[in-house]
Amino acid sequence: MGRKILHPPAIVAVLAWDGQLDFRGEILTTKVDDPFGWVYRVKALSTSKAGEIFTVRHSQGSVIAWPAHDLFKGTRVVAHPATDAWMSGDRYGTVIQVGTKYIHVRMDRSKKVRRFHPANISRLTV
């Protein structure tokens, strides 16, 4: 399974394995011929470091999640009515981790961490 090369001005989520970076950003430049993988220059949009420029490598410690959803760490969400969590009354929660396939949510009622596919939760609108 190949990785998709992203080009400016794509908006992406940047997730670091060490937990130090977790932000939404805009790709400024793409370098494909780097020997260690693809390198992106990303401008942070949604952290206390908004406006700072970061270098993100696909192959060393950082993962770029495509903008298929807008669920990031700290986002309030609601489970889909077809899920077991919703049927058991565990409907609302907070995103604590965003993986490459699943979103991990700490539920309000049970305090359990549940794993959801992004299609089975949605952003809570206030």
Q: pTM for this structure?
A: 0.50
Burial label for 40, CB within 10 Å (0-12, 13-18, 19+), is: buried
Cα–Cα distance between 44 and 25 in angstroms, integer?
4
Rounded to whole angstroms, what are the CA distances from 25 to 58, 62, 81? Answer: 15, 13, 31
- pLDDT tens digits for range 30-73: 777 666 567 778 787 776 777 877 777 665 444 554 444 667 78
Choose among 3, 69, 76, 15: nearest CA to 44. 15
Q: Does domain 76-123 have CATH number 3.30.1390?
A: no
- Residue 2 predicted with pLDDT over 50: no
